[in-house]
Amino acid sequence: MEDNVIDLRDSQLEEKIQHEIAGMTFTKNFRSPTAEEWYIFLPSYKDPVTGGAAGKTIIHYNLYDTKHIFINTTIIFDDPGLHDNGVTGLVYAISDEIVNRLVGYADTLLSVHSGANSYNAEYKQ
């Protein structure tokens, strides 16, 4: 019997994702009792004006009482290279990794601002 499985994965994109995630670093810029701001540094992407961080993440904690903790996370990518339609999978993978590293497994609403690759998502425990 013939193997009718078609592999639609893009090996070049997977390598690019692994390269960016392996080289991703963060610097905390601001912290208040209810919010954090982190700069995101990626190996292949930079802020076009300053040459610094490719973007930033703002994590806002809504603490209503000790039982309900809800987190709003906003990721803003400044490098125009991350705004192109051709890197949608890369933006999704990087954003997912940022949420995993900075927010963990907490319930969060995510808003990603990256030109044509902007999207909203909900992470539930």
pLDDT tens for each residue of 75-86: 999 999 999 998
Rounded to an integer, the average pLDDT of 11-18 is 92
Of all helices (H) and strands (E), which one includes residue 22? Answer: helix 11-23
Q: How far apart are CA 26 and CA 95, in angstroms?
A: 13
Topology annotation, domain 11-123: TATA-Binding Protein (3.30.310)
Domain ranges of the chain: 11-123
- Average pLDDT of every residue of the chain: 89
User: Confidence band (pLDDT; 50, 70, 90) for 1?
Assistant: low
pLDDT in tens, 74-123: 999 999 999 999 899 999 999 999 999 999 878 889 999 999 999 999 98
pTM: 0.87
Q: What pLDDT score was predicted for residue 90?
A: 95
Q: How far apart are CA 64 and CA 35, in angstroms?
A: 14
